[in-house]
């Protein structure tokens, strides 16, 4: 699942890490990331790649539980 998400992000938001994070948050959480979230997630994506980043998203409490 994380691998497929990574492929989609590379295809649909190729420009920058921030763009990928924003798109991924829209897809998984239905909203844009907060400033703090953007910072943490962008840093992880830059260092560890899209697939590792997608694993985090799918394990977020914000993803698991709908408010």
Partner 1 sequence: MSIDLHPNRRRFLNSLVGSFSGLALSDLLARDGVLGGILHHPPKAKRVVQLFMAGAASHVDTFDYKPLLKQKDGEPWDPGETVELFQSTPGACFASPWKFRPYGQRGKMMSDIVAPLGDVVDDLAFIHNVEGKTGVHSQGTLLQTTGFNFPGFPSAGSWVSYALGSETENLPGFVVLPDHRGLASNGAKNWANAFLPAEHQGTVIRPGNDKPIADLFAPQSDFINAKNDRAGLAALSKLNSLHASARPGDDRLSARVRSYELAAAMQLSATDALDVSKEPQYIKDMYGLAPEGPGVDDSGTINEKAESEFFGRKCLVARRLLERGVRFVQVWSGNDNGFPRRNWDSHGDVERDHAPLALGMSRGAAALIKDLKQRGMLEDTIILWTTEFGRMPCSQGSKGRDHNPFVFTNWLCGGGIKGGTFGESDEWGFKPQDRGHPTHVYDIHATILHQLGIDHQRLTVRNNGIDRRLTDVHGHVMKEMLA
Contacts with partner 1, residue ranges (CB under 8 A): 2-3, 6, 34, 36-37, 40-41, 43-44, 47-49, 51-53, 55-56, 59-62, 64-65, 67
Min dist. Cβ of residue 24 to partner 1 (A): 13
Residue closer to partner 1, measured from CB, 16 or 34: 34
Residue closer to partner 1, measured from CB, 15 or 64: 64
Buried b or exposed e, range 7-42, using 16+ CB within 10 angstroms: ebbeeebeeebbebbbebbeeeeeeebeeebbeebb
């Amino acid at each position: 699942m994380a691998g497929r998400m990574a492929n989609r992000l590379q295809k649909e938001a190729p420009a920058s890490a921030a763009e990928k994070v924003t798109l991924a948050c829209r897809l998984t959480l239905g909203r844009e990331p907060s400033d703090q979230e953007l910072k943490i997630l962008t840093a992880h994506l830059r260092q560890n790649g899209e697939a590792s980043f997608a694993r985090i998203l799918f394990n977020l409490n914000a993803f698991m539980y709908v408010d």
